[in-house]
């Protein structure tokens, strides 16, 4: 698990991490519980590299 945290960082993963941090700070300061939960999800996507942050949302286009 530790090896996965430090390997495979892409620009999109860093963007998810930064957006998650920014949203977490703002929603925590406003005491919005649902916003905190959603921002934690985005933060964890960037930190642990799952979902679209790991590049799994791309569509392969086969040219014929």
* pLDDT at position 1: 66
Reported as a single tens digit per residue, the pLDDT across 34-48 is 999 999 999 998 888
Reported as a single tens digit per residue, the pLDDT across 51-61 is 876 766 766 77
Q: For 7-63, what is the HEC assignment?
A: CCCCHHHHHHHHHHHHHHHHHHHCCCHHHHHHHHHHHHHHHHCCHHHHCCCCCCCCC
Reported as a single tens digit per residue, the pLDDT across 11-34 is 888 999 999 999 999 999 999 999
Reported as a single tens digit per residue, the pLDDT across 3-16 is 767 787 888 889 99
């Amino acid at each position: 698990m530790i090896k996965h945290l430090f390997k495979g960082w892409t620009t999109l993963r860093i963007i998810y991490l930064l957006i998650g941090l920014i949203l977490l700070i703002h929603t925590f300061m406003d005491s919005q519980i649902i916003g905190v939960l959603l921002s934690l999800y985005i933060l964890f996507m960037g930190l642990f590299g799952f979902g679209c942050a790991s590049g799994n949302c791309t569509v392969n286009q086969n040219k014929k």
